[in-house]
Every structure is written in C-alpha cells, then in structure tokens.
Amino acid sequence: MVAQAAETEFRPSGLRLKLITIALILAPLLQVFDTSLISIALRHMQGSLSATQDQIAWVLTSYLIALAVMTPLWGAVSSIFGRKPLLLLSIVGFIVFSLLSGTSDTLTEIVIYRFVQGMFGAALIPLSQSSLLSIYPREDFGIAMGWWGVGIMFGPVFGPTLGGYITEYFNWRWVFYLNLPIGLMAFVMIALLVPRPGNNKKREFNYFGFVMLAITVGSLQFILDRGERLDWFSSPTIIVLALVAAGALWVFLVNSLTSKVPLVDPLIFRDTNYVFGIILRILFGVMLFGSLVLIPPFLQNQGGYPMIDSGIIMAARGAGAMFAALFVGHLMKIIDPRIVISFGMTLCALTMWQFSNYTQDINLTSVLINNFLQGIALSCFVIPVNTIAFSTMASEQRDAGTAFYSLLNNMGRSLGIALFASYLARNTQAAHSVLSELITPFGDGWRHGIVPEAWDMTSISGLRAINRMVTQQAELIAYIDDFRLLAIIIVVCLPAVLLMRNPLREKRMG
C-alpha cells in the first residue's frame, strides 16, 4: 500500500508538462546517445591517437566503470542537495568533459576525461527518471514512461547510424562536440521549467556502504568489459577481481542489513513489483545491447551491407519503438500491463528467432519489417516494466530506487555485450574447427561436386580462399546460435511477469 500523503510535489499540466517532459528526456538522451556514438568512433580514434585496439578500448571502459560506480551515489545524495541542482550540475560536468575529450591529443588525456564524464553522466538517467515520475500522477506513469522510452531507445538505435555518418564524413571529435547543443538545450529547459521538489527527509550518507558497492560494481564492470580480451577466468586479473567483487558485495549486504542508515534501503526490495521489474530491466539491457552487438555486424559481414546502410536498416527498429511508445502508455490504462509485457517479450523472441533463419542472402524488405516489429516489441516490453516497477513505490524512496534500477540496467547492458560477443567468438571458432575437418580432397562432396577454381588446395591462394569461405560459414552458424540463445533467454524469463502485481488495481490505494 502506498501512502499518498507523501506525494506533495507540485505537478504541472498542459503545455508546461509537455515541455518539462521533453527536458527530462533530453538529459538521459545525452548519456545513452554518447555511448552509442563513441562505440562506433573507436576505430577512427585508434589511428589518430596512435593506440592499439586494446588501448583504445579504455576510452569506453573508463567511462562505463565510472558510470557504474557513481550511479548509486547520485540517488543517495539527492535527498541532501535536491534532484534539480544535481541534475543541472551533472549536465554541465558532462558537457565540459565531453568537449575536453574531443580536444584530447593523447590516449591518457581522453581516458581521464572520459572517466570524469562518466561520473557526471551517471546522474542523468536516475535523477531525470525520478523527476519525471514526480510530476505525473501514478495513474499516468505509463504515459510518462512511454515518452521516457522514446528518449532512452533513441540513442542505442540511431546512435550507431549517426556515429557512422559523422566518423565517415567528418571527424571522430564531432561525436563529442555533438553533446554540446543537446546538453545546452536540456540545461536551459530544466533550469527554467522543472519545479524544485519539496524537501524530502534527509538521510545520513553511508560512506562505507558506498565504497563497498563501488568496489563491487567497478570490478564487475571491468570483468564484463574486458573479460573477452583477457580470456575470462584464464586470466589472473579476472580471477582476482571476481574474488574482490564477491567479497565487497558480501560486506555491502551485511552493512545494508545492519546499518541504521544503509546506502540502499532494504525496504524497497519488499516491493515485488520493483524486484521483478529489476529482473526484467536487466533482461531488457541484455536483449537491447546484446542484439546491437549482433545485428549490425551480421548485416555487414553476412549480408554485405556497408556500415551506413546497416545503420539505416537498424533505424527501422527505432521507428517501430517510437511508434509503439506513443500509444503503449495510454493502452496500459485499460489493459493489464502484464499482458502488454508478455506480448512484447513474445514478439521480441519471435523476431530474434527470425534473424536466426536468415542466410547470407538477406532480403532487405524482410529484415526491415522484422526490425520494425522488434521496435514495437521493445516498447511493449520496457515501458510497462518501467511503469510497474515504480507504480507501488513510495515517492520518498524513488530517488534511491531509480538509481539502483539504473545501475542494474547498466550491468545488464554490459552483460549482454559480454555474453553475446564472447559466445559469438567461441562458436565461430568451434564451427570453424568442425567445418575445416570436412574440407578434404578425399571427401565425396569435394571429388564429385562443382568446386570453384579459386578453391585450389595445391596453392596458397586457393587455401586462403577456402579458409575465407569456411570462416564466413562458421560465423554464420555462430550468429544463428546467438540469435536463438537470445530468443530462448527471453522465453525463459517470461514467467517473471506473472509474479508482478497489476498496478491498475492498486492505483487508488492509500
């Protein structure tokens, strides 16, 4: 039961409500858009900064570690300083260090600037989400999260397309400079329009709990981001960090259960909607960013589409997501949101399975339709999940709740990238080994089949041509396995929806 007496924050209406909603969407857009743009520009940065592939990866790794470590801090200190001042501060810091990253001439400079940029960027999603929920009544949380979904999904879907265009025709530094106009617009609109909430009850800050959680998530983020390069648990570094993360997590849990002022109030985990919302939000991060690891390179390597064209094809998914986001929020006011989530997850699984049925002859119309349907599925999945997760949470717990929610979403994102990139690499090697054993001049297929002249086993060039063919076929098999694994994971997680409560029955309680 939710005490509505605690909900005393001013709620705007009409045009001002719409403008505030846009302002609070622009803030998280900065963060998700930046990550998508930079991931595309890394290859161009590598040559300009004279870095190896492993070294240039720290431009992204340093940012993600700072993002993970600092996310819970912003939610905890918002009760002390207030959401709006912290949100404005984080936007300024994000812009400043984004511009400094764009002017960097050495790898050391850009890694340091990116780390600090990530520290400020960690505040953008949880504080803006909490602020958005505070200006909408509970019965309209679905509408609020619908608009929120437009901003959150814009970056991952359209970022690679724009990032590829900028790096191809301009310069990698412009992917950082692009944050300036978006950030300035968000800062001005938030400063002028967003109301400052009333004073919440201030809590003491648990420094020890924060340090333990920071060590945990920082270690996990490093493992997820660098595990594939270091060959996972065959690396002493990964083993040590895993032990450190496990130990720090244990100490954090003990501190949370015994401290009078825990960093994250354990009471929020008594809300089953929030708990299962976290589980499904992690799944969404795995699915969204795991598929971004798979689909664009699949279109490029197997379908033969250039980077920019594959980005345009991916834009169909963004169009579907935005189209669905416009009505999903309203739909949840008349239909059980759990039905909408189940529909979205089922459609997600079906579209992922459809990708496993494509061969190298990828039909453009078919993949565009599949991507558009996948976009609709993503909105039907994540918008109701976000809505239900906070539908029964007291307003005074929302800042910490959104921060922890955002933290675990970041973990899900990193998990999806690490899981499917690693699975793809290992399956490609395994399939290549099996196919190579079948390539022999004594096999019936080779002796009696029609073999291209270029596949001459008696010449080096012929062996190279055969190896290219085998590698491409092995990679295709690995992509098929990855897409099917992703579809199976989604289906396995479907029962979690049934364990959530229907907020339509509870919106008048309290």
Is residue 444 domain-resident?
no
Q: Do 87 and 187 fall within a single domain?
A: yes
pLDDT digits (tens, 9 = 90+) for 54-101: 777 788 788 888 888 888 888 777 777 778 888 999 999 999 999 999
- DSSP-derived secondary structure for 155-166: HHHHHHHHHHHH
| Dihedral sign (CA 45, 51, 53, 57) | negative
What's at 158, amino acid-wise? F
Domain final residue, candidates 152, 184, 199: 199
Is residue 2 domain-resident?
no
Provide the H-helix boundaries in 332-363: 337-355
Which residue matches tokens 């009760």? 79
Is residue 445 domain-resident?
no
State residue 203's pLDDT score: 64
Is residue 31 domain-resident?
yes
Distance CA 238, CA 242 (A): 6
Mean pLDDT of the chain: 81
Q: Which residue would you say has higher pLDDT here, 33 or 485? A: 485
* Mean pLDDT value across residues 505-510: 50
Domain final residue, candidates 199, 214, 233: 199
Number of domains the chain contains:
3
| H/E segment holding residue 195 | none
Q: Do 352 and 501 fall within a single domain?
A: yes
Is residue 163 domain-resident?
yes
State residue 1's pLDDT score: 40
Q: Do 38 and 164 fall within a single domain?
A: yes
Q: Do 181 and 220 fall within a single domain?
A: no
Q: Do 257 and 274 fall within a single domain?
A: no
Cα angle 190, 196, 197 (rounded to 5 degrees) comes to 130
Q: Do 216 and 143 fall within a single domain?
A: no
Domain final residue, candidates 153, 172, 199: 199
State residue 5's pLDDT score: 39
State residue 201's pLDDT score: 59
Q: What is the CATH number of the domain that holds 486?
A: 1.20.1250.20
The answer to whether 138 and 86 have CB atoms below 8 angstroms apart is: no
Q: Do 129 and 253 fall within a single domain?
A: no
Is residue 446 domain-resident?
no
Q: Do 250 and 277 fall within a single domain?
A: no
Q: Do 230 and 278 fall within a single domain?
A: no
pLDDT digits (tens, 9 = 90+) for 78-87: 777 778 888 9
Q: Do 168 and 41 fall within a single domain?
A: yes
The residues, any chain, with a CB within 8 Å of residue 122's CB and separated by 6 or more, are 66, 67, 68, 69, 70, 71, 73, 74, 90
The residues, any chain, with a CB within 8 Å of residue 475's CB and separated by 6 or more, are 301, 302, 424, 428, 431
Domain of 181, in residue numbers: 12-199
Is residue 5 domain-resident?
no
* Mean pLDDT value across residues 219-243: 85
Q: Do 217 and 194 fall within a single domain?
A: no
The answer to whether 237 and 230 have CB atoms below 8 angstroms apart is: yes
Is residue 496 domain-resident?
yes
Q: Do 183 and 40 fall within a single domain?
A: yes
